[in-house]
Amino acid sequence: MKIITNEQLPAANGHYSTAIISNNLLFVSGQLPVSTDGTHHHDEPFERQFEVVFENILQILHASDTEKEKIVKVTAYISDVRLWPEFNKLYASFMGEHKPVRTVVPVPALHYGYQLEVELIAEIKE
């Protein structure tokens, strides 16, 4: 097992790792819309929160020597089921032709009032 860390990744804000590689799989903890410099984006529109979350995910994938086309499973938590169509549109644009398995879970609230949290599993490039 290898813990993925570097200064370009969002710091874990609790007793957990941001990402771990185990058995050629990358496990990424739930990513909130917090920039790597610590800026919180909870008061910004959903689209901006999505951008920050997926910028963080791209940085984690890069630090793990893999790419978005290697993502195999995504779980997204949204703070309101009415955000689902917008999430789906933004997600489809981000993923392009790649279609990993996905679960979208509407929840009553997320930490700090965020609207989005995303965790995933990806393969490591061979």
Give the integer Cα–Cα distance in Å for 45 and 70.
Answer: 28
Query: Which DSSP category does 86 fall into?
Result: H
Helices (H) and strands (E) in the chain, counts: 2, 6
Q: Which residue has the tokens 């990513």?
A: 31
What total number of domains does the chain contain? 1
pLDDT of residue 5: 80
CB 122 within 8 A of CB 85: no
Letter string b/e over residues 49-76, b meaning 16 or more CB atoms within 10 A of that residue's CB:
bbbbbbebbebbbebbebebebbeebeb
pTM of the shown model: 0.93
Confidence (pLDDT) at 12: 74
CATH number of the domain to which 66 belongs: 3.30.1330.40
* Residue span of the structural domain in which 110 resides: 2-123
CB-count exposure of residue 21 (10 Å: 0-12, 13-18, 19+): middle
pLDDT of residue 39: 86
Average pLDDT of each block of 10 consecutive residues along the chain (126 residues)? 80 84 96 89 96 96 95 98 98 98 97 96 89
